[in-house]
Structure 1
Amino acid sequence: MSKRAIIAVDIQNDYFPGGKYELAGMERAADNAARVIRAARERGDRVIHIQHVFEGPEAPFFVPNTEGVKTNPVVAPLAGENIVVKTHVHSFLNTDLKELLDHNGIEDVVVVGAMSHMCIDAATRAASDLGYNTTVFQDACATRDLEFNGVTVPAGSVHAAMMAALGFAYAKIVDTDIYLAAE
């Protein structure tokens, strides 16, 4: 059995065009994530879907029991694949993700999904801190423009800064096409 798991973080409808919290490049990122997941399934790697559900109907997005909270069909879980529901940015916080990985002998974690500057960052750092060999498919992740102190930071710059930081000490950062061509 494979010792690698793909963790597909928050690839949910609210992040897509028309959703409550649209991200720049989410469709492209999800298409790449789908390619990574498809290759993982063919290799026999474990695929784990993370679903963020905010508590309460006043949530800004990912409201319980709405279309927006559902995993987007492009990466829909197959029967038998794990779905870990979280209520925080951090995929390991108050979830059974670590136990699931350890129970299945996982040593290598691949992270794809959204948002680069929040949930991808948190999942990647946590996976690395917990001792997993961690890889992020940078073009299978998406984010959005941010604002700080009256300055708008474009999504592309936010994403690049996050990948640079994660690549410095936490994860191997790869491109989908290059990685899949080498497999």
Structure 2
Amino acid sequence: MSKRAIIVIDLQNEYWPGGALPLDGIDAAAANAARVIAHGRTSGDLIVNVRHEMPGAPVFVPGSTGAEINTAVTPAEGEPVITKNFPNSFRETGLKALLDENGVQEIAVVGAMSHMCVDATVRAANDFGYATTTIHDACATRELEFNGATVPAAHVQTAMMSALAFFYGEVVSTDAFVTR
């Protein structure tokens, strides 16, 4: 097995049309994530699926359809699925122990939302010393509002990926990642 893990963050039904938090470009991001996952499986990478649950909240309700991993990226038999309750996939989960048990030194991240769980997880991974790669076109986000201004999803995505690339690791396209 390689020393790399592909971390698939929160590609759950809640983010698709009909869910409570539909994201801009989620279908394209999930299709690219599926390509990254397939590449990882072929390369012998550890594929780790992360799913968010929020007990008592109106979204990501445990046991709901919205909390299920979308069929575009269904975990393969035997692949670990980590359930989290916070944006950071490492916080109060077994993710770090799983990566360390498997000798992982490098992680590649795909998923949602770029400005929340992807960001928090990539920064934490970097803090733990993992070499990180974020696959920007295999991540999705949504428009945000702040101080009376609406920030389009494309601008949120650009800001998040540029911030991660500034210090927290490499940020590349799906094509660049799978053709290395």
With the shorter chain as reference, the TM-score category is over 0.9
Identical aligned residues as a percent: 53
- Cα drift, residue 171 of structure 1: 1.2
Partner residue of 1:7? 7
Equivalent residue in structure 2 for 1:96, among 91, 94, 97: 94
Other structure's SS at 2:86 match = coil
Other structure's SS at 2:98 match = helix
How many residue pairs match? The answer is: 180
Distance 1:34 1:74 in 2: 7
Distance 2:15 2:156 in 1: 16
Other structure's SS at 1:84 match = strand
Distance 2:64 2:103 in 1: 34
Counterpart mapping for 1:1-183 below 5 A: 1-56=1-56, 59-180=57-178, 182-183=179-180
Give structure 1 regions of 4+ aligned residues with deviation exceeding 6 angstroms: none
Distance 1:14 1:170 in 2: 27
- TM-score (structure 1 length as normaliser): 0.97
- TM-score (structure 2 length as normaliser): 0.98
One-letter identity of the residue aligned with 1:30: A
Q: Deviations 1:126-165 (Å, cap 9, x if unpaired)?
A: 0011000000000000000000011000000001000000
- Cα drift, residue 55 of structure 1: 1.0
Flag structure 2 segments of 5+ consecutive residues without an equivalent.
none
One-letter identity of the residue aligned with 2:73: V
Distance 1:100 1:73 in 2: 24
- Cα drift, residue 178 of structure 1: 2.5
- Cα drift, residue 6 of structure 1: 0.2
